Amino acid sequence: METTIFYYTGTGNSLWTARMLAARLGSSVPVSITGFRGTLDAGGERALGLVFPVYIWGVPAPVIRFVDSHRMPRDAYVFAGAVNAGQVSNTLVQLERILKHQGVRLAAGFGIKMPSNYIPWGGPGPEETRRRLFKQAEEKIAGIASAISRRQPLPVEKGPLWQRILFTAMYRMSFNKVPEMDKGFWVDDKCDRCGICAQICPAENITLKGDGPLWNHRCHQCFACLQWCPKEAVQYGRKTPAYERYHHPDIRLKDMLNDPAR
Ligand SMILES: Cc1cc2nc3c(=O)[nH]c(=O)nc-3n(C[C@H](O)[C@H](O)[C@H](O)COP(=O)(O)O)c2cc1C
C-alpha cells in the first residue's frame, strides 16, 4: 500500500510535515511538486497526498497548476495537508472543488499549524511557541497518519464562515497579482552574490546580474529567497531588516536544493 506525498514548500514546514507523515505511514515517499516531471498512476490500494502552505487564505498557484496538469487518479485515496500559521480559511474547500472538477474526491483534508514565514507581517514568533507548535503538529500528524493508513475518510477542515467569505474575496483579488509582488524584494550591502536565492527559487524567477539578484515577476511569494539567504541580505519592503528569519529547524538548505526544480 504505497503512498506518494507531493509537497510544495518555501521554508520547509510543508516538507517537514510530508516527511513526518511519510515516516509514520511507511512505504511512502515525499516528492516535490515543482520538481515532478512524471505522470500519476495509481492502483486501487494507493494513497496520494498533497502537502503545501496556505497562501493568502488559499491554495498556492503552483499547487493548482500541479493538480490541473496531472490527471489525478480517481481510484486513489487522495488527502491534503494545508500547512498554515493559524488561518486555514477556505483553502481545503477550494482544493476539494478543484479536485471534484476532475472527478476526484478529497478523502481527507487537514490543517497543520506551524510558525509563520510571512515576514512582511513580522518574524516567526518566540522560540518556545515554535517548539510548542512543532510538538502539536507532530501529535496531529500521528493521528492523521493512522487515519490515512486505514483509508479513513476525514471531513475537510475549514475556518469560520466570516473568514471564508472575507478572505476568499481577498485571495481572489490578489491571486493574479502574486507573480508581480516580487517588486518588493531588494538586497542590502551584505549581498555577496552567492546565488543561493536564485538556486532556491522554485519559480526560477531570479537571475543574477553584476550588481545582485533580479526578480523577474514570476514570483510564487514563497519567501525562500529571503528566508534562506545566508547573509540575511534579501529584504522585502522596509521592515524586514529588523525581523528574524525563519526556516524549519530540521530542514537544511541541501534538502531544499535537492528538488530538481531548484
Ligand atoms: C505569501 C504567504 C501568504 C500566507 N498566507 C497565509 C494565510 O492566509 N493563512 C495562514 O495561516 N498562513 C499564511 N501564511 C503562512 C504560511 O502558510 C506558513 O508559515 C507555512 O507553514 C509555510 O510553509 P512552508 O515552510 O512549507 O513554506 C502565508 C505565507 C506566505 C509566504
Ligand 1 near 12 CB (within 6 A): yes
Determine the pLDDT at residue 73.
83
Ligand 1 near 145 CB (within 6 A): no
Tens-place pLDDT, residues 69-98: 998 888 889 999 999 999 999 999 999 999
What's the mean per-residue pLDDT of the chain? 94
Ligand 1 near 18 CB (within 6 A): no
Considering the domain 178-257, what is its CATH architecture? Answer: 2-Layer Sandwich (3.30)
Q: Please state the atom number of ligand 1 nearest to the C-alpha of residue 178.
A: 1
SS3 for 18-73, per residue? Answer: HHHHHHHHCCEEEEECCCCCCCCCCCCCCEEEEEEECECCECCHHHHHHHHHCCCC
Domain ranges of the chain: 3-171, 178-257
What Å distances lie between residue 81 and 21, 189, 236, 258, CA to CA?
10, 39, 28, 22
Tens-place pLDDT, residues 16-39: 999 999 999 998 889 999 988 888
Same fold, 3-171 and 178-257: no
Residue 12 Cα to ligand 1 midpoint, Å, equals 11
CATH number of 3-171: 3.40.50.360
Residue with cell 500528524: 141
Determine the pLDDT at residue 75.
84
Over 60: is that where the pLDDT of 1 sits?
A: no
Q: Write b or e for each residue in 34-64: b if 16 or more Cβ atoms lie within 10 A of its Cβ, otherwise e.
A: bebeeeeebeeebbbbbbbbbbbbbbbbbbb
Q: How far is it, in rounded angstroms, from Cα 135 to Cα 4?
A: 24
Over 60: is that where the pLDDT of 43 sits?
A: no
Q: What's the one-letter identity of residue 148?
A: I
Tens-place pLDDT, residues 196-250: 999 999 999 999 998 899 999 999 999 999 999 999 999 999 999 999 999 999 9
